[in-house]
Amino acid sequence: MRFNDGAVDSHGRFWAGAMNDPKVKEPTAEGVLFRLDPDLSLHRMLAPVTIPNGIGWNHANDTMYLTDSPTGQIFAFDFDAVTGAISNRRVHFDLEEPLEPDGFAMDVEGCIWTAIYGGGKVLRVSPEGKVIGQIDLPTRNPTCPAFVGTELYITSAKDDHDDEQFPRSVRYGGRLFKVDVGVQGKAKNEFRFAN
């Protein structure tokens, strides 16, 4: 197993998803979402997942989002900010095509900006779970966006295959892209050690 993606909630708890290491074994539904609390206690919060990716919370701090890439879905959970409990898992966004949502970033309007691995794009998904924006990239495998002000920085994975849809994918795979999207990113939380 190896860790894949993580985020910190409003109470300083670190959430991280673990998955099969693809260098050892094809990812299967054996992954786990963990929560590390400020007192350094570790909690298994969700299993099984396959490739846990983007994790984030809405502005009201009552919903947590989690991507499980091979399903093509971003899930929503009811979130108790005081206890860190999650419940009521449901589909927030379904890509409905044979591509994988990867890491994501959230903006101040409550939208998720999710990288579509294999699809050469980043989608902006509304709080209602609808696609309301798209950034097309000159590479097949964007992996994770991150905000700096209104600029979205987008990482990508190396790609060894050119084709008609992505004729420059080999050239630009593994590069970092920057796009000003005109909306601020949601501030990140920091881990808090217990006193």
**Active-site residue numbers?**
102
9 is in an annotated binding site: no
The torsion region of residue 42 among left (phi > 0), alpha (psi -120 to 50) and beta comes to beta
Check: CB of residue 104 under 8 Å from CB of residue 131. no
61 is in an annotated binding site: no
Check: CB of residue 74 under 8 Å from CB of residue 58. no
Helices (H) and strands (E) in the chain, counts: 1, 15
Tracing tokens 């004729």 back to the chain, one arrives at 167
- Rounded Cα–Cα distance for residues 117 and 157 (Å): 9
162 is in an annotated binding site: no
2 is in an annotated binding site: yes
- Rounded Cα–Cα distance for residues 147 and 165 (Å): 27
The torsion region of residue 12 among left (phi > 0), alpha (psi -120 to 50) and beta comes to left
- Rounded Cα–Cα distance for residues 176 and 148 (Å): 14
Of 142, 134, 138, 143, the closest CA to residue 166 belongs to 138
Both tokens of 7, joined, read 């985020």
Q: Binding site for a divalent metal cation: what residues are annotated?
A: 53, 102
Q: Binding site for substrate: what residues are annotated?
A: 2, 4
Q: Binding site: what residues are annotated?
A: 2, 4, 53, 102
